[in-house]
Amino acid sequence: MPVAPSTRTARTGRTRAARTDVRAPWGLRFSAVVGATFHVVLHGACWLLTEGADPLELGPGDVVFLREGGAHALADTPETPLTDFRPERADPDSPIGHVRVEGPGAHAVLLCGAYQLDRTRPHPLMKDLPELLHLPARGGAELGHLVGLLAAELDRDRPGRDGIVPSLVDAMLLYVLRTWAADGRADAPGWARALADSAVGQALRDIHARPSVPWTVEQLAARAGLSRSVFAQRFTALVGEPPVSYLTWWRMTSAGRMLRESDAPLRTVAEQVGYTSEFAFAKAFKRAYGKPPGTYRRTPTTTPTRPTTNAGSPSLSSAIDPGAASSASSARPRGNAIGLDVGQPRVRRTTSIRRRSSPR
């Protein structure tokens, strides 16, 4: 299943996360980020608060994934007032921060973080995800084991933790996507069904694994055991674009990643994504990105840097602009308001994947 290549093309930076150790009453407000946000409940329980939707109760082992990284909040109850989420880091270069809130009430431990994802060329798999994906702990054995490993690593500060935890968090993204894609709902978006379809799934694996091959629709159809017309129609219906268009998109996206992550000569990059002519590759690349490959390679990535807190430690989420915050503060409702524009409620696509199992 071509899930791992799909996430590699979407990534623009290192995942950062924070162990969040809280005792009631507590409420944390998360500002919007460039990428996707996730939370894992390692111990205890809490509520997820988002704009225009009912509060969502989370229990031990639950995982939530917010595709757009929009503003939201976590709290011990929906009524608890909120404070900004500002993790501290012993080492500024560490991918793991920590947040602690003391109180007399119930104890909870969370892992809160964000994946830095490219919004300029999002993979169709990411675009098809619901805005909020909730994976309850019950029944998800594989994901549950991974959450257990995360809890064990975060409970004690042992050598190698800064390398192990980011790897587990990256693996969690793959488990989340695979669980969603394998959910098998009849009304699932195109990419969930495309990955499960024997013919289209095989074609996607071929394209992802060997973009240098001069694939034709006839070749892909033959490998899938279908006629050209039937294959092309099925591929387009599930993926959202014809096979050749997707092949070109994948080649250009892969080329962009290689240009940014390596110093391979332009001819080598062109050959690895199926172009025998450096000129033809440069022309196709400029058509896709709006600039020549060499210029793209020299242009810094545009992912915004994270602002710092007063203590100098980086905040996981983007801080609200002080001017905007002060001008909007009087208009915000009191209590646990998340600080979003409530004048134009939006519709949130939410998916909660549930399986048959005993109650928690």
* Structural domain spans, the chain: 3-185+339-351, 197-298
Q: Are 80 and 27 in contact (CB under 8 A)?
A: yes
Interatomic CA distance for residues 356 and 158, integer angstroms: 37
Q: How many Cβ atoms sit within 10 Å of the Cβ of residue 262?
A: 11
Q: Is-above-0.75 flag for pTM?
A: no
Q: Are 228 and 25 in contact (CB under 8 A)?
A: no
Phi, psi of 38 (to 5 degrees): -140, 155
Interatomic CA distance for residues 156 and 30, integer angstroms: 25
CATH topology of domain 3-185+339-351: Jelly Rolls (2.60.120)
Alpha helices, DSSP H, located in the chain? 3-10, 124-128, 141-155, 161-181, 190-196, 198-209, 217-224, 228-239, 243-261, 266-272, 278-289, 293-298, 322-329
Q: Are 69 and 122 in contact (CB under 8 A)?
A: no
Q: Which residues contact 293 (CB under 8 A, 6 or more apart)?
A: 255, 259, 266, 269, 281, 282, 285, 286
Interatomic CA distance for residues 285 and 244, integer angstroms: 15
Q: How many Cβ atoms sit within 10 Å of the Cβ of residue 172?
A: 25
Strands 36-43 vs 46-49: parallel, antiparallel or unpaired = unpaired
Q: What is the pLDDT along the chain (360 residues), one digit of tens a residue?
A: 455 555 555 554 567 788 899 999 999 999 988 778 899 998 999 999 998 889 999 999 899 999 888 899 999 999 999 999 998 877 777 778 889 999 999 999 998 988 876 666 666 666 667 888 898 876 567 777 888 888 888 777 778 877 887 788 888 887 777 777 666 554 555 666 787 788 998 999 899 889 999 999 999 999 999 999 999 999 999 888 899 999 999 999 889 888 988 899 999 999 999 999 999 999 999 999 999 999 999 886 544 333 333 333 333 333 222 233 333 333 333 345 444 332 333 334 555 555 333 333
> What is 197-298's CATH number?
1.10.10.60
